[in-house]
Amino acid sequence: MSPPTKAGAGVAAGVSLPGLRSPGVGFEAPFEMLEACHERVERMLDLLTRLRKHVAKNGCDAQAAAAAVDVMRYFDLAAPLHHQDEELHVFPAVLAICNDPLDRLVFRLRQEHLEMESLWGRVRLALARVAQKDAPTQVLFSQAEQTDMGEFVAIYKDHIRSEEDLVFPEARRVLNPEQIEAISKEMMRRRVEK
């Protein structure tokens, strides 16, 4: 397993924020920021997948513990803010179009946010065991935990594709520059308050 990345070491607009590592993307470009967050989600999902394989082969070691901490940090801090951005700004803009297929998609994506949150609670418990300083070397993930992790990765990957291919382009199309600026300020304010 390659060394884990640090999910919380980025800076945007002079503020250190969890999960932000793309120096060229700032709050002035909210959709680019959301897509950069998706890239970080993909990296964390890949790290989770590598961690599962590593633990199955090597048990719990320092590398596994560090990877578990990185994944937990990202999905505890940055992912909920990202979902909130979509719920508050992107989804309402798309629903205002009043297009039945898009409306159904947005309702599905909202439901998936809840499903991901529920799955994350279970996945996090398994990762927390691995991250403990005194974790036994032979900690293995149960079949139920493996299933939860697999579902978590799969739902996120499909979710991201739907947002980037269908929802984000429609929201970009209907939001005017003033609305984009207001979204940018709100996204930054929520992160500074955290």
Residue 63's CATH number = 1.20.120.520
Count of domains observed in the chain: 1
Could you tell me if residue 10 is inside a domain?
Answer: no
What's the pLDDT band for 24 if we cut at 50, 70, 90? very low
Could you tell me if residue 6 is inside a domain?
Answer: no
Could you tell me if residue 82 is inside a domain?
Answer: yes
Could you tell me if residue 167 is inside a domain?
Answer: yes
SS3 content of the chain, % helix, strand, coil (to 5): 75, 5, 25
Could you tell me if residue 18 is inside a domain?
Answer: no
Is the pTM of the predicted complex or chain greater than 0.95?
Answer: no
Residue type, 187: M
Q: 141: domain range?
A: 29-193
Tens of pLDDT, residue by residue over 76-120, are: 999 999 999 999 999 999 999 999 999 999 999 999 999 999 999
Pull the structure tokens for residue 179. 């609305």
C-alpha distances (whole Å) from 126 to each of 18, 40, 101 are 22, 21, 37
Going by the DSSP 8-state scheme, the letter that residue 163 receives in this structure is I
Pull the structure tokens for residue 60. 């719990």
Could you tell me if residue 160 is inside a domain?
Answer: yes
